[in-house]
Amino acid sequence: MDDKDRQIVRALQRNGRATNLEIAAAVNLSPSPCLRRIRLLEESGAIQGYRAMADQRAYGLPVTVFIRIRLERHSAETVALFEARIRALDEVLECLLMTGPADYLLRVVVAGLEAYEAFIRNRIHPIDGIASIDSSFVYGTIKNTGVFPANL
């Protein structure tokens, strides 16, 4: 990926609904080469898809919780079971495999504290092999962007 491709990716991250003409103008290319580059980025998997960014409060999910989970054991079976169960939970927007004291970091959205308690009791606790669960509630967002930095 060269600098022009990175400019295209950043322009699309800022506005995935921009037309090819708008993207071409933003990155100083003519429309045909710009469209060709976009198609190549999509085909290579560098651009993985397009989605709408929705306001989670307006949607009815105002509470974000980061949950650190440590497993009791790290056998292939325990890890595979845990990861499969987590993938199936709609409330989990991200699950990251981590270094340090926690094995996984989950970003979860719920409607409120009661919904969070139900999520933990009914969806997380039944997963075998969990040693500990540590939660941190988000009470404000300082920055939220999906645009990669320009400088490499």
pLDDT per position as a tens digit, 47-57: 999 999 999 99
Tell whether the model's pLDDT for residue 152 goes beyond 80: no
Give the pLDDT of residue 151: 80
The pTM of the full predicted model, rounded to 2 decimals, is 0.90
- Pull the structure tokens for residue 45: 């998997």
Give the pLDDT of residue 145: 92
Residues constituting the chain: 152
Give the pLDDT of residue 84: 98
- Rounded CA-CA distance 83/96 in Å is 10
Domains of the chain: 3-44 (1.10.10.10), 56-137 (3.30.70.920)
Q: Give the type of residue at 87.
A: R
